[in-house]
Amino acid sequence: MIVSVDIGYRHLAWVVFQPDPLRYVDGGVDDILHKKKPTTESVTKGLTHWIRHGPLTKYPDATIVCESQVGPAVKNRVLAFVLLSHWTPRPFHFVTSSTKVKKMPLQYFPASVDPATILQQNYAKRKQASVLMTRHICAQCDMAAACSLMETLSKKDDFADAFVQGFYFCLVRVL
């Protein structure tokens, strides 16, 4: 199993895939801070609780995939990655957002998303593109359950980021 994780300031999106044959298994978006202000302490406590009691416990042998973060205000996210990798004794991989876009096969991009320009777009447009890609991949790969869940979430974009990242990792791993 592959557990793809997208860690934000407050929310942690996760998607579980079976890589071969590639299929969606489970997913969600959790508020790891439980409505608290994002500080180093609250992120540490929230993530520790999520690791020990959250959905990862259902997949003890899974490989974890996280996006490597670059940009301003990443202190809490970097801390979260360190904690996640330290407290989960299992294979752990990082994927950059540019790699998953540049190396994703073109068939997984909907016509409305141009892979050649997506990385040059602003944050909101990249997040929107991730949701569109998730819908497109779900339709192509018979993963309707993932799209059904995503449409019920307030943080569709975070779920979509975790979905596209995990899907990309599964494709690379299987190829």
More confident of the two residues 156 and 46: 156
| pLDDT single digits (tens) 113-164 | 888 887 788 778 888 889 999 999 999 999 999 999 999 999 999 999 999 9
Average pLDDT score over the chain: 82
Pairing mode, strands 92-95 and 63-67: parallel
Task: Answer whether 0.75 is exceeded by the pTM.
Answer: yes
**What pLDDT is attached to residue 175?**
46
Domains of the chain, earliest start first? 2-174 (3.30.420.10)
Reference 82, options 37, 51, 123, 127; nearest CA is 51
Q: Per-residue pLDDT tens for 67-102?
A: 766 554 555 555 566 666 655 667 777 787 777 777
